[in-house]
Structure 1
Amino acid sequence: MNFIKMQGLGNDFIFIIDKEENYLKDEIEIAKKVCNRRFGIGADGLVIIRNSDIADAKMIIINSDGSKANMCGNAIRCFAKYLYEEGIVKKKNITIETGDGVKISELFINKDDKVDLVRVNMGKPSFKGVDIKLNNKDKLIDEVVEINNKRYKLTSLLMGVPHTILINNNNEYSMEDGKIIEKYDLFKENTNVNLVKIYNKESIEVRTWERGAGATLACGTGCCASLVALNKLGLCESKAKITTLGGNLIVEIVNDDVFMTGEATFICSGVVLN
């Protein structure tokens, strides 16, 4: 089984082509195997490239624990770069079918015909409890929640996948808090958790505990969700630089749509032997 490994801000993925959906017979077990950092290649997730009836290609994402994700911001930038540089789709604006609908990726291509940056329309966020899959709650915006005798002020929204934002200006929270919040019974299908530090209204830092993957160096949808939440609370402008452990993104809100711009990089290619 041939693969290519890519990363976006340190969020790494194994890419496999299965256009006709007849190559991978047990994709969940394959994802858990190849993503294992001791006994496999090692990655935060498996990304499968398939044909689409409504877009240039279809992106399937399976987290390292075998759970599926509707959307991933860092993966989709890698996906668009892969399609272009491997000659699968030679267009500067590529449409990609995801579990969260069709996303449009704009490629910034250099004189060597390589992709420097990818700008993705991530779509519209939602603060509705029914979309986030909250238990018996219409919304969760700047609200104190007590979990295991510890108080957290949380804001949750759907940005392709559910995200919960926790302001962490004084470093009072850690990834262990993210792990606890992820599985809190308020969230029917669990939640991603973002610890956010505000530098100023145009610059923030985001650390993410990802549902199904744990602590990662960066999360594209998490960065987008963090900007949207802070903007709604009046703490951030509609465009900001987002700093993560793996690098930086530019995120902006334009007419209620959220746009994310950042890099994507090839790491290696090879063959899975067994």
Structure 2
Amino acid sequence: MKFTKIQGSGNDFIIIDDRENKFLGKEEKLAVKLCDRHFGIGADGILLIRKSKLALIEMVIINSDGSYAAMCGNGIRCFAKYVFDEGIIKDNPLKIQTGDGIKEAFFTLKDGIVDKVTINMGAPSFKPQDIPANCSEEIIDKKVNIDGKQYSITTMLMGVPHTIVFGKLKNYDVLEGRVIEKYGLFPEGSNVNFCEVIDDKNIKIKTWERGAGATLACGTGCCASAIASNKLGFTGNKVLVKAPGGKLLIEIKDDGIFMTGSAVISFKGECKM
């Protein structure tokens, strides 16, 4: 099996061309084996390239623990770059089918190669039934007590569920996200972002991802954190989000949330399955 290892802001993935559906029904075992950092290739998840009847191409995301993810911001940037640079589809913009609907990727090229990718991530939802969350009201700056510690949380669906906790990053261990993820308010769990506001144009975050654990960056988490900080009046409509693995520019517009960043191929190879 041929594969490509690629990363976006340190969030790393294994891309596999599965347009012939050779791994259909085997995605969970494939992800667990390949993503193991000691006995496999090592990654936060796998991205499968599939044919689509709804868009030009389909991206299927499987987390490192074998669970399915509807959307991944860093993943779709990596996916889009690979599909374009490898000549699978050369459309710019490129429409991609995901579990969170069809997303559009816009490319900035340098010498014919993708340098930056901008994704229209769509709109967030604060509706509890969409997240989903076991409550009737929107979760915005809500005080909760989890495992003996009080947090003020803001939660939304940004392709996948995201919970944002504001404060100084030094006051939070990213492993606290493991407990917040499983909080009873979230029947299907939640990604967790600890967010510190630097000024009205800059924030920094660290993320605990549902299904992957602590990661160097999370595209949907950067979007959710920018949206939450804007909604609470901390930042404007355009914010630079700094994660441990890199920076993403998030712009809040009337027609969607636009995320811009790079994607870098680490290496290519073959392995036996």
What TM-score does the superposition give when structure 1 sets the normalisation length?
0.97
Distance 2:137 2:40 in 1: 42
Distance 2:169 2:269 in 1: 44
- Range with bigger deviation, 23-32 or 207-216: 23-32
The percent of aligned pairs where both chains have the same amino acid is 51
Question: Are the structure 2 counterparts of residues 153 and 23 from structure 1 closer, same or farther at C-alpha, using a change threshold of 3 Å?
Answer: closer
Residue aligned with 2:135, SS? coil
Distance 2:152 2:85 in 1: 43
- Equivalence map 1:8-47=2 (5 Å): 8-47=8-47
RMSD over aligned Cα atoms: 1.1
Give the conservation status (yes or no) of the 8 Å contact 1:208–1:219.
Answer: yes
Deviations 1:34-80 (A, max 9, x none): 00001100000011000001111000000000011000000000111
Structure 2: segments with no counterpart, 5+ residues: none
**Aligned match of 2:5:** 5
Give the conservation status (yes or no) of the 8 Å contact 1:92–1:108.
Answer: no
Distance 2:109 2:175 in 1: 40
Residue 195 (structure 2) pairs with residue 196 (structure 1): yes
Residue 217 (structure 2) pairs with residue 218 (structure 1): yes
Distance 1:181 1:217 in 2: 18
**Aligned match of 1:258:** 257
Amino acid at match of 2:230: N
Give the conservation status (yes or no) of the 8 Å contact 1:122–1:259.
Answer: yes
**Aligned match of 2:183:** 184
Amino acid at match of 1:95: K
Give the conservation status (yes or no) of the 8 Å contact 2:162–2:224.
Answer: yes
- Equivalence map 1:94-113=2 (5 Å): 94-110=94-110, 112-113=111-112
Distance 1:257 1:23 in 2: 33
Stretches of 4+ aligned residues off by more than 4 angstroms: none
Distance 1:216 1:170 in 2: 15
Deviation at 1:257, TM superposition (A): 1.2
Deviation at 1:177, TM superposition (A): 1.4
- Equivalence map 1:141-152=2 (5 Å): 141-152=140-151
Residue aligned with 2:257, SS? strand
Distance 2:154 2:23 in 1: 41
Deviations 1:94-141 (A, max 9, x none): 00000000000000011x210000000000001110011101333211
Deviation at 1:179, TM superposition (A): 1.1
Distance 1:39 1:138 in 2: 45
What TM-score does the superposition give when structure 2 sets the normalisation length?
0.98
- Range with bigger deviation, 17-26 or 81-90: 17-26
Residue aligned with 2:28, SS? helix
Distance 1:213 1:23 in 2: 21
**Aligned match of 1:60:** 60
- Range with bigger deviation, 135-144 or 206-215: 135-144
Distance 2:249 2:200 in 1: 13
Give the conservation status (yes or no) of the 8 Å contact 2:175–2:214.
Answer: no
Give the conservation status (yes or no) of the 8 Å contact 1:119–1:259.
Answer: yes
Distance 1:7 1:17 in 2: 17
Residue 83 (structure 2) pairs with residue 83 (structure 1): yes
Give the conservation status (yes or no) of the 8 Å contact 2:200–2:235.
Answer: yes
Give the conservation status (yes or no) of the 8 Å contact 1:130–1:138.
Answer: no
Question: Are the structure 2 counterparts of residues 37 and 165 from structure 1 closer, same or farther at C-alpha, using a change threshold of 3 Å?
Answer: same
Distance 2:176 2:78 in 1: 29
How many residues matched? Answer: 273
Give the conservation status (yes or no) of the 8 Å contact 1:127–1:158.
Answer: yes
Deviation at 1:24, TM superposition (A): 4.4
**Aligned match of 1:249:** 248
Deviation at 1:256, TM superposition (A): 5.3
**Aligned match of 1:74:** 74
Give the conservation status (yes or no) of the 8 Å contact 1:65–1:213.
Answer: yes
- Range with bigger deviation, 162-171 or 149-158: 162-171
Distance 2:188 2:161 in 1: 9
Structure 1: segments with no counterpart, 5+ residues: none
